[in-house]
Amino acid sequence: MKVLFYYRGRESLGIEYLSAVLKRGGHTVDLIFDPGLDNNFYWNSKLLRIFHNEELMIEKAERFSPDLVAFSSTTNEYPTVCRIAHVLKDKLSVPVLVGGIHPTSLPEFVISNPDIDMICRGEGELAILELADRMEQGKDIFDVLNIWVKRKDGSIVRNELRSLIDDLDTLPFPDKEMFYQYGCFKELVQVISGRGCPFSCSYCHNNICRKMYQGKGRYIRRRSVGNMISELKFYKEKYSARRLSFQDDLFMLDGEWLAEFSEKYVEEIALPFSCNAFPTRMNEESIALLDKMGCMNLFIGIDAGNEALRKKVLKRNTAIEDIWKSINLVKKYHIPMELSAVFCFPGETVEQMWETINLVDELNPSAVQSHMLFPFPRTEIFEICKDMDLIDEDIEMRIYQGEGSIVGESVLKHPDRDVAYVLVKMMAVYVKLPRFLKPLFRRLMNARMKRFANAIFLITIPVVFPWQGFTRLRELFRMVYFTRRKLRSDAGQTINKAHGQTKTG
C-alpha cells in the first residue's frame, strides 16, 4: 500500500509520526513538500512565486502513483489543502484523506468538500494504519474508528473515536527523514515529549479535544525518560543535531519527570534547547533544572496585559503577581525568554492593548511574538465573538474556510482592528528599542500607518528574534533549495530509468 502525504510549511511532527507508523506496518510512504515561500501564514508575495514548485510536485505525485493521498490540516492550511486535493484528485483518481485539527473541529464541513473522501478526527496513528491495512487487503473500510468515510452515493459513515494512545512509548520515533530530504531542518530539530494540556484557554483547540475524548483515556500523557533520551541520541548521531525545540504545550508540566529527565539529558544529550511554559506552572526548582540543562529560549504565554481580560475572556487565571514572580525567576537564572502578546480580543479596547505592550515592555523579554487573534472554529472565544457580533455569517464561513492569519488583517468586525494590526507588526521591534527612542516609536504606532508597520515587521524579523531569526531564514532558503533539487532529481531519475528501459527493450 502506497500512501502519499502533502505538506506545506516547515516540518510536521504529526505527519512524521503517521509515516513512521505506516512504514513499521510495511507500507510505502512518500511526501510532496512545499515550503510555501510565496504565500504562508505571515505574508503573501507575488514576487516569490518564482520559487513555487507545484508542477514538479504534481509530477512527483503522478510518478509515485499512490493508493491514498493524505493531508494534515490546521485551519489556516485548509485553503491550500482544498486546492491541492482538487488537483491531485483530478490527476490521480485515488481516495483523499484529511486529518488534523480542522477536520477534527469541523468534521461535517470538511467531509462535505467534493474532493475529500475521508477525514480523520483526533489522534491519527492507529486509525491510518488500520485504514491502510484494510485498503491493501481489499477489506471493508467503513467501520474504522476515528475515520469518517463518504460513500459513492454521497452518504457519510461517521465512526466513533477510539481510545487515546495511553503508552506513547509504543509509537515509533517520528520519520524525520521525509522532511530532512527537503532541507526542512539541519541544526535545529523539533521533538515532543508528551501530549495534552491541563488548561482551558478559550482560544485553544485543547478544549475541543479534551471534551471529545472524555471517557476515552488519559488526555495528558508523557513519554518515558528512557524513550525520550533514546530518540535524542539518535538525532545527535544521524543528523548531528545542535539545538532542540520541544514542542510540548507545557514542557514543565510534571516536576518529577523533569527532574529525572534533566539528569539523563545533561549526561547524554547536553544540547541547547527551547521549550514552552505557563506562568503558574513555574517554580524555582523547575527553572533551575532548565538552566542546568542548557535552555536557550523559554517561551511564556502572557497574551494580554489586562487582568480582567485574561481571566474573563481568555480563561487564563493568571494574576499579575504570578506573572512577575515567574519572570523574575527566569531572570534570576539568566535564561533568555520570549513572551507572547495577542491583540483584537472581543471587548478589548485600545487602552487595554497598550496595557499588554506596557506589561511586556516592563517584563523586558529577549523577544516577543505579537499576534492577531484568529478565533478558531468551535473554540470558546469563537462563540464569544459571535455573541458580541464580531462574527457574522460571512465571517464565520471565511473562518471555516481558513481565510485569515495571526499577523495579517483581523477577520473580526472589531472596532479597533486597524490599531491592532499596527501594534502586531511593530511591537516586537518596539520592546527591543533603547528607552530614548520609545516615545517616538509610540507616536508612530499610534499614527496607524499600516504599510509602514508592515515594512518594519518584514525588515526586522531576523533582528528581533535572536533565538530563531537568522536560523529560520537559513532554514527557509535551504528548504527552497533542497525542495527544488529533490523534485528535479526525482524527475531526472525517472527519465533515466525510462531511457534505460528503452535501450534494454
Q: Which helix (H) or strand (E) holds 495?
A: helix 469-504
**What is the per-residue pLDDT for 35?**
80
**What is the per-residue pLDDT for 42?**
54
**What is the per-residue pLDDT for 421?**
93
Helix (H, G, I), strand (E, B) or coil at 115: coil
**What is the per-residue pLDDT for 51?**
58
**What is the per-residue pLDDT for 456?**
82
Low-confidence ranges of the chain (pLDDT < 50): 495, 498-499, 501-505
Is beta strand 273-277 parallel, antiparallel or unpaired with respect to 295-303? parallel
Question: Given strand 96-99, what is the order of strands in its sheet?
Answer: 28-34, 2-8, 68-72, 96-99, 118-120, 147-150, 156-158
Could you give the residue range(s) of every CATH 3.80.30.20 domain in the chain?
186-467
Q: What is the pTM of this model?
A: 0.91
Domain 186-467: CATH class, spelled out: alpha beta
CA–CA separation, 52 vs 44, rounded Å?
A: 12
DSSP calls for 307-369:
HHHHHHTS-----HHHHHHHHHHHHHTT--EEEEEEE--TT--HHHHHHHHHHHHHH--SEEE
**What is the per-residue pLDDT for 150?**
97
**What is the per-residue pLDDT for 38?**
59
Q: Please tell me the CATH code under which domain 2-166+476-500 is placed.
A: 3.40.50.280
CB distance 221 to 195 below 8 Å? yes
**What is the per-residue pLDDT for 182?**
87
Long-range contacts, stretch 282-286, CB < 8 angstroms, 24+ apart: 282/252, 282/326, 282/329, 282/330, 283/255, 283/329, 284/329, 284/332, 285/255, 285/259, 286/252, 286/255, 286/258
Q: Which amino acid is at 70?
A: A
**What is the per-residue pLDDT for 504?**
36
CB distance 71 to 6 below 8 Å? yes
- pLDDT tens, 306-343? 999 999 999 998 899 999 999 999 999 999 999 999 99
Could you give the residue range(s) of every CATH 3.40.50.280 domain in the chain?
2-166+476-500
CB distance 426 to 363 below 8 Å? no
CA–CA separation, 445 vs 430, rounded Å?
A: 9
Question: Given strand 367-372, what is the order of strands in its sheet?
Answer: 188-191, 243-246, 273-277, 295-303, 337-343, 367-372
